[in-house]
């Protein structure tokens, strides 16, 4: 039995996932591929997500026409909490040998693998299949191997590596499809066309079940909500906290909040604190969070409110406030600049 393992948030599953897995399957010929929606990605700030049953169903729909090797596996959702791939691998290892297990990841995850829990153990317990993904490189020569592979590569051949752990890494080049779930969620929320990126069955399911709605019904007064967020950011020592009501401007965002931190770490930690405080007060998670890894410009998306948290130095470069002067400024505690 040759088994593929493909994990992700699948929030929602899209043609990038389908393209990846069908191409990999042509090359690898797995007997089974476990498509595993995670419960919670330990490396991402939690965002608003449809109920697990919806993600399971969407994943089923996305892969339903590709044969019975493609199976959606709910083990991580059943386990709950943070989903660590190593735990899922340990489960599969109870019934399969390491040589038969292949973890399929995109180049983004390959670049970042050393941030995963027990990644060295992962490289002992399973083989990897790494696919291309727009915006990320797969290594083309020895000097492009990620640092964490130092000392682990035995033989290398064009397109595959034998590791000293006894496992291998196979690189597969896809006909790249530039799509991500986070981009799609944004498009869906503002009603932009998505048919290029989503399997039709998934798109219909999303419409029928009213998933990815534009604003959050739990927030009844976005102005007050904006003021609450401004206060949190101010309490976390945000600099030059300013908020704008953009309703008159007719943009897709009604409110915006901007502040900066003295360092990239400060900007990221303000975002983390903000999402925790909002969760506690309103029981609401953001619809998306971007840039938190780098902390130069972190965007926290609450639907009708978008929060921009900058490393101050970067804020000066963009001068976003200039775009909002046609709106009206909301008085918040620290609006001096
Ligand atoms: P998000 O935008 O919310 O971070 P995502 O689009 O990256 O989501 P995931 O469900 O987290 O989707 O990804 C699952 C797996 O699919 C990962 O290994 C990822 O690298 C891979 N993947 C996602 N999109 C693509 C794509 N367009 N091309 C190739 N691989 C992809």
Over residues 184-212, the pLDDT tens digits come to: 998 998 888 999 999 999 999 999 999 98
Residue carrying the six token digits 């299949």? 129
Residues of the chain with CATH 3.30.460.10: 222-330
State the closest ligand 1 atom to the C-alpha of 10, by its place in the atom list counted from 1.
10
Q: Which of the residues in the chain have pLDDT under 50?
A: 337
Q: Is ligand 1 within 6 A of the CB of residue 291?
A: no
Report how far ligand 1's centroid is from the alpha carbon of 10 (Å). 8
Instruction: Specify the CATH class of 222-330 in words.
Output: alpha beta
Alpha helices by DSSP H, the chain:
15-28, 52-63, 75-79, 85-93, 107-111, 119-125, 181-189, 200-208, 222-235, 264-282, 312-318
| The predicted structure's pLDDT at residue 113 | 97
| The predicted structure's pLDDT at residue 262 | 96
Q: Is ligand 1 within 6 A of the CB of residue 131?
A: yes
Q: What is the CATH number of domain 3-172?
A: 3.40.50.620
Peptide bond into 180 cis (omega under 30): no
| The predicted structure's pLDDT at residue 335 | 53
Report how far ligand 1's centroid is from the alpha carbon of 179 (Å). 8
Q: Is ligand 1 within 6 A of the CB of residue 50?
A: no
| The predicted structure's pLDDT at residue 216 | 72
Mean model confidence pLDDT for the chain: 94
How many angstroms separate the CA atoms of 237 and 223, rounded?
Answer: 21
Q: Is ligand 1 within 6 A of the CB of residue 106?
A: yes
Q: Is ligand 1 within 6 A of the CB of residue 271?
A: no
Which residue in 188, 227, 192, 187 sits closest to 205, CA to CA?
188
How many angstroms separate the CA atoms of 334 and 50, rounded?
Answer: 36
| The predicted structure's pLDDT at residue 157 | 86
Q: Is the dihedral of CA 194, 195, 201, 205 positive or negative?
A: positive
**Best of 7, 10, 16, 36 for a ligand 1 pocket test (most atoms within 8 Å of beta carbon):** 16
Phi-psi region of 80 (alpha: psi -120 to 50; beta: other; left: phi over 0): left
Q: Is ligand 1 within 6 A of the CB of residue 9?
A: yes
State the closest ligand 1 atom to the C-alpha of 182, by its place in the atom list counted from 1.
2
**Which value, in Å, is the radius of gyration of the alpha carbons in the chain?**
22
């Amino acid at each position: 039995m040759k088994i593929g393992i493909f994990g992700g948030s699948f929030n929602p599953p899209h043609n990038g996932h389908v393209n990846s897995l069908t191409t990999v399957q042509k090359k690898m010929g797995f007997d089974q591929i476990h498509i595993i929606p995670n419960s919670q990605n330990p490396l991402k700030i939690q965002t608003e997500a449809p109920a697990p049953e919806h993600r399971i169903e969407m994943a089923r729909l996305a892969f339903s026409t590709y044969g019975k090797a493609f199976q959606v596996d709910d083990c991580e959702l059943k386990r709950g909490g943070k989903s660590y791939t190593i735990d899922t691998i340990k489960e599969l290892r109870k019934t399969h040998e390491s040589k038969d297990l292949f973890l399929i990841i995109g180049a983004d995850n390959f670049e970042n693998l050393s941030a995963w829990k027990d990644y060295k153990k992962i490289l002992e317990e399973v083989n990897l299949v790494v696919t291309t993904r727009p915006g990320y490189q797969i290594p083309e020569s020895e000097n492009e191997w990620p640092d964490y592979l130092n000392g682990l590569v035995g033989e290398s051949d064009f397109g595959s590596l034998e590791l000293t752990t006894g496992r291998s890494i196979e690189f597969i080049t896809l006909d790249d499809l530039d799509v991500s779930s986070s981009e799609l969620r944004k498009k869906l929320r503002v009603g932009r066309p998505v048919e290029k990126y989503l399997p039709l069955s998934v798109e219909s399911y999303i419409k029928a079940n009213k998933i990815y709605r534009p604003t959050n019904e739990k927030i009844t007064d976005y102005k007050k909500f904006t003021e609450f967020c401004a206060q949190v950011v101010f309490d976390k020592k945000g600099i030059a906290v300013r908020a704008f009501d953009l309703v008159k401007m007719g943009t897709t965002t009604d409110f915006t909040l901007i502040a900066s931190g003295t360092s990239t770490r400060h900007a990221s930690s303000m975002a983390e604190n903000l999402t925790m405080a909002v969760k506690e007060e309103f029981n609401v998670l953001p619809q998306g969070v971007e840039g938190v890894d780098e902390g130069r410009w972190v965007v926290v998306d609450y639907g009708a409110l978008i929060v921009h948290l900058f490393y101050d130095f970067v804020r000066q470069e963009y001068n976003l406030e200039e775009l909002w002067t046609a709106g009206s400024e909301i008085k918040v505690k620290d609006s001096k600049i």
